[in-house]
Structure 1
């Protein structure tokens, strides 16, 4: 019996209450005709969009268990071919798309034993086994639910988001490069010269598909390059991407093409790897490790991450002994910080209104303009970038471009003027509200967008080109729910100070391991990895004629006094 039929049989044994919970998790109406047909319902539950929606409801530990099963299956049966990896969305500005399908892959043929999972996760393996029943109830582990563990087919593929692979090199090169860039990579690898761009690209891809050759190239790389590639090749949730402003582009649209800097400027580590095809552009300010490179560099003995306990927040102050005095002190500090934040954003918006910020062709705000604005408002550059991003996502700032003057008869049209960032009509209403009401749309924007606004990556930090993290929205919503559940006036929102907001970054523990084909041991820091958001994405609204990388604001403006959704 194949996995679809096995799942259909399992569905017939579920109680009405259990089926209702499953349908709600997958966003399926209870009364639709598909729900009455077990086989059709099983087919729906195994589709990539349905599986993707189910993953959004999982915590880190359950996602890591699924990822461990997928990695163990890959180690035992080998990698699964994938025609195309996950399409970039949001800040990266690539064309929309979904995950690759799972046609022709029978999940039961890639089963992993429970004992192997427990052994692979070491001392924490027993705790991982306690999560399997819940994953089975969500139809993310498929029947027969015995000693073998079977995932939906899409999760075995590189595009499933659990294995930590990038897209195939052929897809990345075709999307990002013109012929000149492909030939530069070809020349750096000692190939060619080929007669055409297609022949040159086939030669480069064929070389990268040979793991031994990739390891040989990496073995001759500078130590910083080996560390970077090793960290990106480590198993992890999402795709191996890195923020980098190395590549240049004259466009930010979905079909933008990228070129190497003509003077060789930029990050030398990324430059060395990109010149040899080991990294490729994946959008404005983003590079990606191709699938073939990750496959060649991944060590089969790489430790599988599993952190069953959520991170704990511990606050310590000199003289704090707990109790009402400590709580009152913390509340007073929170209220003061909230009021100060609202005031800082007001000063920032007034400064932008007086002197609009110009949007770069590559997306975002120029670093020098951000530094100038930070000096004007008396804040740090990181804080200024945070408030710019939040204000843009909250609909308080938006791009605007003046229309080009009509050309005189017989003359070419003048180039379109640069787009500028200006306060929106909502700004006037926001300005008249109390500090608490002013913070509400900013906190709401922070809570529903997957951008990690304060993440630093070592290169130029550009406002409005922030990386995304799949875990950001669930974590922020959980944080707000926890704050809202506190009794009495423990939250700062009850006072004039409003709700303090912030942006955090979930960092997984580091691991040290050897990069295959080299004698180098690297510390794997998953914070260097940019993950694909598994959450459904919205289209980014833009002003007429303006192309930028602003993230989507909430669908409806939040009037003063309305709580976040």
Structure 2
């Protein structure tokens, strides 16, 4: 049994309440199968993937303290950290302790038994050069020979001791004094001083995209100008067998920066211009914005249901289709994009061949009241892995919607940072200008993606205003419950602020129908079928015309049905101009009939048929009169029908039996956007596996798990079934262990549990080519030595070799509702 790590020891020193806070903060490490011991929990907490999930949740001072601690090469004392940050004498010591407490709650930094601060290994590797500082001198000199050390000491005027270790210690002791370093540099040639000062003045490096060790410079055999003098004195180190620029030890860099230099530390968020605002004012504006968006979203998705948007060959919905949807729904581009992306994330839209069509879930959603509809889209927006209202990229090129780009964790963090920043504003106040929230978001979520141009985070702020999450510069009640992640309270707040659907319309003598609020699905469908929508939002307007009424008649509606249906939804009696319009349009409807032949036109009015035959713009149809009431056309039925309607006639088509053909098409519906069930093809021994439905993991109870872990041994024994030891917990564990030789038992447990429970899992996989990728897999099916699964990276079924799986962790958890 291996000895416990310092993190295991620290976790064991916590009380149940404090350990529960760690488990709540790092939920991925506590996901099923729950850790059996504090040692297994510590192992999960220190995995690179788990640390990578925790990093984006940190505010700016947390990252600044972590970077300073990384530069000190933990373990380090609190005093050394405070001195580096300049927090020892400026009154920010309490702020530093609060930040260290928060980092401990994330199990990223913790004290050891001696009181020194430790940090998770992957967190240290997040910076190539923390604070722009390279490694310490002792580390850089590890590959230096004893003769080289003797030469450096001799040039410095120090008598070299006898052994290599003594020489190394003497050089490190000399360079540990900043004043001695500066006195040596003062005698250096100008080129050397310029080189050293340039290297020491480099700003702090940003976070590395992936955890990795430092690689400095590019190959090049020649030292930099002025470097030789510094290399001879140990002020620069050229590592053996490594090409590239010489490396500046951290001690030398700090000496050159001077005693007044401190690592950046901003424990207090930036100030913003505030204005008083009452809850009633916030509610009023949030209600108006949310109601307008709910109505616009319903119109956008209704337009998609009527005509499924076409996809570009390169993927996504292009600008032309977006403009068409916006015109049909009378919604601006931001509302269209926001609706499409949130609806797709909520499963209301899905790709269907070369189009994007509503799913059957949309039909259920369309029958709900506006507050319920809005809550569905709002919850999808909270964790949307992109910023949908961003219409152009950095090169000002138009961005398609629903393009299926790789998930953007920075975009999610920008949204969460907005919610966090707005939640911290003083009670009864909002920012005067919404853009003032940008610097606050950058402080609360420094790793979030900002706007490509213009004010920082302008796009995500605009989205929040459109949704009523942000109103009068303050977080609305909707935003408060959205941030807390309470679906029940969020739904109640939506019902309070958003009115129910409107089932009636005010129909005026100017041939318009006006609906205040969000029209019900039945009302919107009726008005869309018999009128043309002109505006949408808090009030929607439809206009009746001969063409719109003719469209309803073409769909098989009778004038009596149209009149009766409109009278049933009208707030008062139907105006006389509308009844006249319906009657007059119906009187001319179907006076010409077209039967399939290729094709035949006939009617009861010889004069009308003669008029068609002589019509100059219909000459392209090749019409020829066979009898006073019969014409023949050389063009197909559809072409002839469209041409006559374009010229203002109202023909109807007939079936082969001579009855009127009703032009009613069933709305296109896409399959739900979920992976196909397992067993869609033969597996294993040739028989089809039963379909498996993915199960939701059990809800985490941090307090109960903390109690169990504190009562268990610090490290749990690993199975050793062939040595008479502890057996595997399940047969699946034993099978996986037999083939996945590279996996420790903790990883074997997680993979076996995901297989048995039908849950998703994230693995690090090395392909035959040697390429290393991180993939989220679901719908797992064990077929030794292979694992069949739905790969979320490739959006397809894939077969994985168990022996090529190098690590396992729970799938990145979405915020639970």
TM score, norm. by length of structure 1: 0.46
Q: Which has the larger radius of gyration?
A: 2
Q: More strand per residue: 1 or 2? A: 2
